[in-house]
Amino acid sequence: MPPVKETTVSTGRGILTDYEKDCLAGKNEKQREYEARSRVRARIKGPLEADIEFLREHDPELLEELQEVVREQQ
């Protein structure tokens, strides 16, 4: 059997945009960093939290994969 070939799937962005990454890395003025932090917090407490709850109910296996990625990065 031939090896399985991985395919690249367009995944969009995660929690951060490229601009927010630049702001948080200190590449823009301090005010932009504060604004970026606020937007990211809002996503964590809003859409991300809702997505986690959805996965908990509808696809616990995918939720476990997400949790594993977070744990591996700690």
Higher pLDDT, 38 or 6: 38
Listed by start position, the domains of the chain span 18-73
Residue 67 has a CB neighbour count (10 Å cut-off) of 12
Q: How far apart are CA 61 and CA 71, in angstroms?
A: 15
pLDDT digits 0-9 by tens, 22-63: 999 999 999 999 999 999 999 999 999 999 999 999 999 999
Cα R_g (the chain), whole angstroms? 16
Higher pLDDT, 42 or 2: 42
pTM comes to 0.73
